Amino acid sequence: MEFLPSDYFTYRDNELYCEEVPFREILEQYGTPAYVYSERYFVDRYKKFDAAFAEIPHRIFYAVKSNFNLSVIKLFAELGAGADVNSMGEYLRARKAGLAPKDVLLTGVGKTDEEIRRGIEDDLAMIKVESYEELRAVNEIARELGKVAPVAVRVNPDVDPKTHPYITTGLKEGKFGVSPEEARRMYADDSLEAVKFVGIDTHIGSQISSVEPYVETVEKMAATFRELRDAGVPLEHLDLGGGYGVRYENEDVFPVEALAERIVPILKPLECEVYFEPGRYLTANGGALGVKVLYVKKAGAKTVAVTDGAMTELFRPALYGAYHHVQPITQTPERDFLDTDVVGPVCETADFIGRGRRLREVRRGDYLAVCSAGSYGMTMSSNYNGRRRAPEIIVSGAEVRVARSREEYDSLLWDEAERLG
Ligand code: LLP
């Protein structure tokens, strides 16, 4: 039995299905490359995460950066989630998907004045600040607007999340957040009459696969939280950010219940609301990128399968050397296994989907599913090499709907074309 990262993409009679729909049917109808999402996966994962923390007052702010399709945001909003947005663009997406400003929090290490102004004007749930200078800027902008901005300082607990260095965010020398000492100075600054400290925030990294870094973080944050409250700061929430790891390969990843078991006892006595910002946990394994094999050739001892999917649809392998499982859409038990590099057509050696994969011989015209593409696939996509963004298809039971169509060449060209004179 081959490893499948998600129970929502399974084989029946050698054909890969997404829920009740043969993957092949979707790709034949909508073309490749195409992102295919399982709605049930999203719903079930959300409920699982929510249920794990039922014992403490909590709110889930879905990290829109993982998958910003309006239908996906809307789905989580309907389940009760708010949104964690990192920019005006993500904010406008959250609003368009139906979220009220009070259900949105604004994150980001480098917010523009325009983003901060809009956040304050619209009365967002909270604006995170990641430096003293930003805190002063928020205060200044709120003062100009005659309002009081709800703020949480992002504290850097100096915990190693043991993940890829590019997605490690809570170490002392990183660009994110401030040290606990700096945070104490910020919370104690009573010259800032246009900000209200409503909470304290952290986020130590992404794709974290063990509970230990979280336990250490929660212990440190709980201590700082208490200290601040004792000093008279009326904190209402503690925001733990996101980063909850998922299975890409056959690796061990903690179940969310195991995390809850360890951190709920530390959080409960604080008697505050706990915020979570999961992204990948909710979306990664709910998506697969369907691609088609264009050509197969030999390169030395290797077999190279060139597909029509590329780093433009899934940047993670090129950027982090990330593993994404590759599955045939149709299993071919009669064919032999070959060591295969699955690559894209973009003119970069880094444009690969998977290297050295033990796959049954693939042939021109075969379809492949690149797994775990529900997070940081479309949101990190690009038009490099003049490519169009791929469609996003949502499957729910036996139903298939297009949540975003394939980008048109015209919409890529019109603005520049009009300026040619
Ligand atoms: N909250 C904050 C403040 C964040 O910066 C992030 C992710 C999240 C929540 C959600 O993290 P998640 O639960 O999805 O791990 N492009 C990378 C991941 C970058 C994550 C950036 N921040 C990747 O493809 O692995």
- Examine the domain organization and report whether 120 and 261 are in the same domain: yes
Q: What tokens appear for 139 in the block?
A: 């205060």
What angle is formed at CA 348 by the lines to CA 347 and CA 352, rounded to 5 degrees?
A: 110
Residues 274 and 289 in one domain: no
Burial of residue 378 (number of CB atoms within 10 Å: 0-12, 13-18, 19+): buried
Q: Is the dihedral of CA 212, 216, 217, 219 positive or negative?
A: positive
Ligand 1 binding pocket mutation candidate from 62, 65, 162 (most atoms within 8 A of CB)? 65
Nearest CA to ligand 1 atom 6: 242
173 located within any domain: yes
pLDDT digits (tens, 9 = 90+) for 279-305: 999 999 999 999 999 999 999 989 999
Q: Is residue 87 part of a domain?
A: no
Residue that has been written with the tokens 């790891």 in this structure? 245
* 371 is an active site residue: no
Note whether residue 46 is domain-resident: no
Give the type of residue at 268: K
> Mean pLDDT score of the chain, rounded to an integer?
96
- Residue where one domain finishes, among candidates 222, 255, 278: 278
Residue showing tokens 């084989």: 11
Positive or negative: CA dihedral 172, 175, 177, 183: positive
- The helix/strand/coil state of 186 is helix
C-alpha Rg value of the chain to the nearest Å: 23
* Higher-confidence position of 161 and 274: 274
Tell me the percentage of the chain whose pLDDT exceeds 90: 93
Q: pLDDT tens-digit profile of 211-268?
A: 999 999 999 999 999 999 999 999 999 999 999 999 999 889 999 999 999 999 999 9
Say how far apart CA 188 and CA 210 lie, in whole Å: 34
Q: Which domain holds residue 375?
A: 9-38+284-416
- Indicate the range of 2-6, 341-345, 376-380 predicted with least confidence: 2-6
Nearest to 171 by CA among 200, 199, 215, 202: 202
For residue 303, the domain's CATH number is 2.40.37.10
Residue 314, domain member (yes or no)? yes
Q: Which residue has the tokens 């903690």?
A: 254
Structure tokens that stand for 271 in this block: 């008697």
Whether residue 200 is predicted with pLDDT greater than 80 in this model: the reply is yes
Specify whether 360 is located in the same domain as 339. Answer: yes
Q: Report whether pLDDT(356) > 70.
A: yes
CA 243 to ligand 1: nearest atom = 15
Q: How many domains does the structure of the chain reveal?
A: 2
Q: 269-304 burial string, b = 16+ CB within 10 Å, else e?
A: ebebbbbbbbbbbbbbbbbbbbbbbeebeeeeeebb
Tell me whether residue 240 is in a domain.
yes
Strands, E assignment, 112-184:
126-129, 149-154
Out of 278, 294, 326, pick the residue that ends a domain.
278
| Distance (Å) from CA 271 to ligand 1 centroid | 27
What does the alpha-carbon distance between residue 263 and residue 156 come to, in Å, rounded to a whole number?
Answer: 18
Question: Do residues 399 and 309 share a domain?
Answer: yes
In a mutational test of the pocket of ligand 1, which residue from 46, 280, 319, 371 has the highest number of ligand atoms less than 8 Å from its CB?
A: 280
Among residues 254, 278, 302, the one where a domain terminates is 278
How far is residue 298's CA from residue 240's CA, in Å, rounded to a whole number? 49
Is residue 20 located within the same domain as residue 153? no
Q: HSE, CB side, 13 Å, CA atoms: give it for residue 136.
A: 5
Q: Whose CA is nearest to atom 9 of ligand 1?
A: 242
- What's the pLDDT score for residue 170? 79
Residue 362 Cα to ligand 1 middle (Å): 34
What whole-number distance in Å separates Cα of residue 200 and Cα of residue 217?
13
276 near 58, Cβ under 8 Å?
yes
Instruction: Give the nearest ligand 1 atom to 284 CA.
Output: 14
Taking residues 186-196, report their average pLDDT.
97
pLDDT for position 2: 64
Q: Does 292 reside within a domain?
A: yes
At 343, list the tokens: 């690559």
Same domain, 386 and 369: yes
Q: Are residues 262 and 308 in the same domain?
A: no
Instruction: Answer whether residue 112 shows pLDDT above 80.
Output: yes
End-to-end CA distance of the chain: 60
Mean pLDDT of 127-138: 98
For residues 313 and 243, state if they share a domain. no
Q: Do 312 and 387 meet the contact criterion of CB atoms below 8 Å apart?
A: yes
Helix count and strand count (H, E) for the chain: 12, 20
Same domain, 159 and 262: yes
Backbone torsions φ then ψ of 254, nearest 5 degrees: -65, 145
33 and 174 both lie in a single domain = no
- Cis peptide bond upstream of 345, omega within 30: no
Q: What is the CATH number for 226?
A: 3.20.20.10
Q: Give me the residue label for tokens 């590019």.
A: 166
| Residue 414, C-beta contacts closer than 8 angstroms, at least 6 positions apart | none
In a domain, 189, yes or no: yes
Same domain, 166 and 241: yes
396 DSSP β-pair partners: 399
With a pLDDT cut of 70, the percent of the chain lying above it is 100
Closest protein CA for atom 24 of ligand 1: 376
User: How far apart are alpha carbons 361 and 224 in whole angstroms?
Assistant: 56
Quick check: 298 and 340 in contact, CB under 8 A? Answer: no
For residue 1, the model assigns a pLDDT of 43
* Same-domain pairing of 230 and 298: no
Q: Specify if 334 maps to a domain.
A: yes
The pLDDT tens digits for 13-41 are 999 999 999 999 999 999 999 999 999 99
CB 249 within 8 A of CB 212: no
